[in-house]
Amino acid sequence: MGEVRPPDPVAPTARFVTGSTLRHVVVMAATGSVGLMAIFVVDLLSLLYIARLGDPVLTAAVGFATIVQVFAVSINIGMMIAVGALVSRALGRGDVGEARRLAASSLVLSLVASGLVTALLLPLLTPFLTLIGANPETVPAARTFLWIALPSSLLMALGMGFSGVLRAVGDARRAMNVTLAGAAVTAVLDPLLIFGLNLGIEGAAITVVIARLAFAWVGYSGAVRIHRMVAQPSLAAVLTDAGPILHVALPTVLTNLAPPVASAFLAHVMAGFGTETVAGNAVVDRVVPVAFGGLFALSGAIGPILGQNWGAGRFDRMRAALRDAALVTGLYVATVWLALVVARGPLTALFGLDGAGADLLGFFCHAGGAIWFFNGLLFLGNASFNNLGFPLTASALNWGRATLGTMPPALLGAHLAGPEGAMAGMGIGSALFGAIGLALAFRVVGVLERREAAASVEVAGGRCVGGETPRLETD
């Protein structure tokens, strides 16, 4: 095989600093949605296959196992955001060498973080599952699933890291292919292992491992073999880069741990209403990413666009990108909300839900659009803070929503109106924090613009010692 020529250093990589911001937002979000939706759809099918085994305990077990896995995946997402933020910023400045070094160091740190979290969670599975509401019948099945699937979080860390690099350079198609590869493997292997080989819940877990292996390999092919955007890692570089990377990654990881805490709390509340409600909540947890996966993709799309334009000093384009992303959020949620209302009956029948579980899914289909519109605004705000050097703001908002915006209103709602009231209470908290998040995102852009203007005045006035450009202090 001939040598693959690396891309030109600036022109093909800092592509978001010119052209229509709306087009960039739509293209990045659409391609990201395809990959994410594929993953979420096959995850939903996996739960459907388990539900078809006819044992509600297994359906509930997969739901609880998913909550535990989300904690591990949240670490990987936080590191992926750090990779994208730092690499896109370096590319916006035209420094491809720094971008490649930061990508390599970030991937090493991602592996270390994922390994530590996995090693911490595995021996604590039983008490953790019990804490979030799993009963003695459900714990063994959930634990079996996690002992197989959880160690593959390291493969997920690599795949997400490579995907972050590809998004930072603006290669939306190859970033999409990373997630499509995992989805394709899952779609083929899940029915084969669960039913064909009669492995049940163990087959679903084995599929997770193989899918994540494909995820990592396709990401490596795009980021390393084609773009050559990952340098050879070295201990010296990792130690040098650890400070800047962790400055972004640690608050970002903290931010991404808040949603699973909120989900775990809600699962605990739902567990008090019986197994049918828990099964219904497990279905809602899988329907949410399929229905609203575009919002996750949209928040991932806005980060590199903001990062490159910040590096290039284009604050007007940063504001335009935020406005365009908010508009796309509203249009997307309105479309999905209508589809959920229409599909309420078929979804309930498909998963064989009755009683309280069917009622909870029906309520979600009618109210979910309102809740997730504001969640989408909060996602946009958090993506802005994480990519523009204000990760602690994202942490504060996400943890505010996961605690003050979730726990008191969910408990009050559960007391007044049962499981549906708990879900509605959480939605009220989402509305408050979503509106605040987007407003603060625009304010952050203004703060950065004023700081750069002040730094330019200092340079022009000759107060910059030794030719150094003043650095922006954030958070």
pLDDT digits (tens, 9 = 90+) for 340-390: 999 888 888 877 777 888 888 889 888 888 888 998 899 888 888 877 878
In the chain, the percentage of residues whose pLDDT exceeds 90 is 5
Cα–Cα separations (whole angstroms), residue 473 to 89, 213, 336, 390, 397? 15, 39, 40, 10, 20
Whether residue 473 lies inside any domain: the answer is no
Contact present, 244 and 182 (Cβ < 8 Å): no
For the four alpha carbons of 457, 459, 462 and 468, in that order, the dihedral sign comes to positive
Whether residue 189 lies inside any domain: the answer is yes
CA distance 330 to 211: 32
Contact present, 293 and 329 (Cβ < 8 Å): no
Whether residue 2 lies inside any domain: the answer is no
Q: How many domains does the chain have?
A: 1
Whether residue 463 lies inside any domain: the answer is no
Confidence class for position 40, pLDDT limits 50, 70, 90: low
- Predicted pLDDT of residue 433: 92
Query: What is the average pLDDT score of the chain?
Result: 81
| CA triple 220-223-228, angle to 5 deg | 115
In the chain, the percentage of residues whose pLDDT exceeds 70 is 90
Residue 354: CB atoms within 10 A of its CB come to 13
- Predicted pLDDT of residue 33: 65
Higher pLDDT, 131 or 17: 131
Higher pLDDT, 222 or 40: 222
pLDDT digits (tens, 9 = 90+) for 193-230: 888 888 888 888 898 899 889 989 999 998 888 888 88
The set of residues, in sequence order, having a beta carbon less than 8 Å from that of 434 and lying 6+ positions away, is 373, 374, 375, 376, 377, 378, 381
pLDDT digits (tens, 9 = 90+) for 272-286: 888 788 878 878 877
In 3D, which of 36, 260, 67, 84 has the Cα closest to residue 146? Answer: 67
pLDDT digits (tens, 9 = 90+) for 72-127: 777 777 788 778 778 887 887 778 888 889 889 989 998 998 899 889 888 988 88
CA distance 78 to 253: 4
Whether residue 221 lies inside any domain: the answer is yes
Whether residue 214 lies inside any domain: the answer is yes
Ramachandran bin of 471, using left for φ above 0, alpha for ψ from -120 to 50, beta for the remaining angles: beta
Say if residue 472's pLDDT is above 80.
Answer: no
Confidence class for position 37, pLDDT limits 50, 70, 90: low
- Predicted pLDDT of residue 12: 42
In 3D, which of 128, 160, 367 has the Cα closest to residue 260? Answer: 128
Whether residue 459 lies inside any domain: the answer is no
Question: Tokens standing for 292?
Answer: 């609203």
Residue 406: CB atoms within 10 A of its CB come to 27
For the four alpha carbons of 357, 358, 361 and 366, in that order, the dihedral sign comes to negative
100-109, 243-252, 395-404, 460-469: least confidently modelled range: 460-469
CA distance 40 to 382: 22
- Predicted pLDDT of residue 347: 84
pLDDT digits (tens, 9 = 90+) for 423-438: 888 888 888 998 999 8
Whether residue 464 lies inside any domain: the answer is no
Q: What is the mean pLDDT of residues 38-42?
A: 64
Question: Which range scores top for mean pLDDT: 134-138, 145-149, 355-359?
Answer: 145-149
The domain containing residue 170 runs over which residues? Answer: 15-453
Contact present, 298 and 376 (Cβ < 8 Å): yes
DSSP 414-469: HHHHHHHHHHHHHHHHHHHHHHHHHHHHHHHHHHHHHHHHHHHHHHHTT--GGGPP
Q: What is the length of the chain? A: 475
Cα–Cα separations (whole angstroms), residue 366 to 268, 372, 420? 23, 12, 11
